[in-house]
Amino acid sequence: QALADPRWNASCGDEFEALLRNYTWDLVPEEEANNIVGCKWVFRTKYLPIGLVDKFKSRLVAKGFHQRPGVDFNETYSPVVKQTTIRILL
């Protein structure tokens, strides 16, 4: 439904070109892939402070919930600052 609007279509095109330009993924033959992760478009309208539409933002997100631990990935990592590091910086 959103892709029928030329503004959303242009936004998706810009996002897809940026993903290609940044080498976001590697294409592999389907036989080598254990589990192919799907994706979907997420849309958001940005507004100016006065309430007018500023731009149409779209992004392509992976459906990571289809991944299986130990099969599709081995570990997860989240960079978190330790409390002692914050104290040293203050």
What was the pLDDT predicted at 48? 92
Structural domain for 17, as ranges:
2-89
Number of domains making up the chain: 1
pLDDT tens, residue order, the chain (90 aa): 667 778 888 998 899 999 999 988 877 787 766 677 778 899 999 999 999 988 989 998 887 666 767 666 667 767 777 776 666 655
Decide: 64 and 38 in contact? Cβ < 8 Å.
Answer: no
What was the pLDDT predicted at 83? 72
